[in-house]
Structure 1
């Protein structure tokens, strides 16, 4: 399986360590475009309207300022740096043994700055969203698309893609037609009525990722096998799980929580 995650907005800076080494990442072929994005980001930060270009408020100025030091900031494992709701529930940093190896080969965070990031890749904390338009590059999602196709398409071949990304990161790469591609949707059931949720959705997707990595046995290789694995959570963290046809050549795994 190939599990695709969005990055968390919240990131925990590494207290110590060497700076990022792009060539040492799990997707070294993305290094050239990473450098282009880093250069464009530095140019944007030199502008007087930098916060506006990056789409953030003045309260995040300190986080944005860190972007000017990414080549010297200490880098840590992505599993430790990404620290939002989804990542807290998945708790990738605590995995050991076979579960940690499965995460290393199966989990990819799609990032506006780094493109594709594995849990063991070392990165500094940063602030940049996929919806940003950088001078000299334009909108980041389409700029990454051909590069992510080269990096991710071979990994999706003859396997199931478990897609936990939000719409902005989905725009950066979609699996090809014919791929067993399953998007994960979370619904809340209250008084018999089901509605889409946001914060709780991140937490539930994180719990699903954790389950897929730690459940033991063979990993899902198809949408149906993924549904069966997710259904193991019904009665514990889930009320229901269904697998249905979806738009854009994908199917949908719906997870229902109370």
Structure 2
């Protein structure tokens, strides 16, 4: 059974691109682009002034903008920690990783996409993508590294959710933003070591995290 690693996109994205604009998009993406145009920008983006104006401008040009591979488009802590440019087996990464995008559904790292702004909890995007995304995950073993909002956009029969948990003074809490870097490091480790079985997760030991059999735990 083929292993798929599910990642969220980053909210931050690289501008520009050196590949042609998209020639076509799926029906769901087309519907969402129309919904974006009709939505109240302030409610949709939760931004103000210059940041709001930029988000509106970016989405106005989705179908006309230059594209780049998704792995280059998405920036942020998780993707910095993966450090795709230095991976020796990039082809394995491209085959195994899928990114759950609010606008484009399941995106391969090599897929060409334009800059865009759409959180998956807006415009019922997660619900719209659920059936399509889930169909693509049939007969796959899923290593799920998604936040709660993105989990609503997928269903799968075989897989494991991976969480990073902090323990302080006997109390456990989600690693949250602090867990983003280790999440990226974990994905890199999965690819570099061709990991396909959760029994091997115990061999991943970075930044003080240890696999408990259910989640990664770090005492602070």
The answer to whether the aligner puts 1:231 opposite 2:202 as a matched pair is yes
Judged with a 3 Å threshold, the aligned counterparts in structure 2 of structure 1 residues 41 and 94 are, in CA distance, closer, same or farther, namely: farther
TM-score (normalizing by structure 1): 0.76
Task: Give the counterpart of 2:80 among 76, 82, 88.
Answer: 88
1:80, 1:93 within 8 Å by CA — same for their partners in 2?
no
Judged with a 3 Å threshold, the aligned counterparts in structure 2 of structure 1 residues 14 and 95 are, in CA distance, closer, same or farther, namely: farther
2:165, 2:218 within 8 Å by CA — same for their partners in 1?
yes
Q: Which residue pairs with 1:115 in the alignment? A: 105
Q: Which residue pairs with 1:20 in the alignment? A: 22
Deviation for aligned residue 1:201? 1.2
Q: How does 1:131-210 map to 2 (within 5 A)?
A: 131-133=121-123, 139-153=124-138, 157=139, 159-176=140-157, 179=158, 181-190=159-168, 194-210=172-188
Task: Give the counterpart of 1:243 among 205, 213, 218.
Answer: 213
TM-score (normalizing by structure 2): 0.88
Deviation for aligned residue 1:41? 1.9
In structure 2, the gaps of 5 or more residues are none
Q: How many residues align?
A: 217
Deviation for aligned residue 1:152? 2.4
Please give the secondary structure, in 2, of the residue aligned with 1:2. strand
Judged with a 3 Å threshold, the aligned counterparts in structure 2 of structure 1 residues 254 and 170 are, in CA distance, closer, same or farther, namely: same
Cα RMSD, aligned residues only: 2.1
2:17, 2:114 within 8 Å by CA — same for their partners in 1?
no
In structure 1, the gaps of 5 or more residues are 24-30, 134-138, 245-252
| Counterparts of 2:41 and 2:148, CA distance in 1 | 24
Deviation for aligned residue 1:185? 1.0
1:145, 1:173 within 8 Å by CA — same for their partners in 2?
yes
Deviation for aligned residue 1:56? 3.5
Deviation for aligned residue 1:73? 1.2
